[in-house]
Amino acid sequence: MKKLSHYDTAGSPRMVDVSGKSETRRMARAQAFVRIRAAVLKQLPQNPKGNPLEIARIAGIAAAKKTSELIPLCHPLMLSHVDVDVTLEKGGVRITASAATTAQTGVEMEALTAATVAALTVYDMTKALDKSIEISDIFLLEKSGGKSGDYKRR
* pLDDT above 70: residue 55: yes
Residue 86 phi, psi (nearest 5): -120, 115
The per-residue pLDDT for 5 is 73
Active site residue 124: yes
Q: Which range (28-42, 47-61, 67-81, 117-131) has the least confidence?
A: 47-61
Q: Which residues are registered as beta bridge partners of 101?
A: 26
The torsion angle over the Cα atoms of residues 64, 66, 69 and 72, rounded to 10 degrees, is: 10
Nearest to 125 by CA among 32, 45, 47, 37: 47
The distance in angstroms from the start CA to the end CA of the chain is: 23
Q: Are 7 and 13 in contact (CB under 8 A)?
A: yes
The model's pLDDT over 135-153, given as tens digits with 9 standing for 90+, comes to 999 999 999 998 888 999 9
Class of domain 39-144: alpha beta
Of 47-51, 60-64, 128-132, where does mean pLDDT reach its minimum?
47-51
The highest-confidence range among 15-29, 36-50, 89-103, by mean pLDDT, is 89-103
* pLDDT tens for each residue of 73-122: 999 999 999 999 999 999 999 999 999 999 999 899 999 999 999 999 99
pTM score: 0.90
Contact 50, 62 (CB under 8 A): no
Instruction: Kindly name the residue from 85, 124, 130, 137 that is annotated as catalytic.
Output: 124
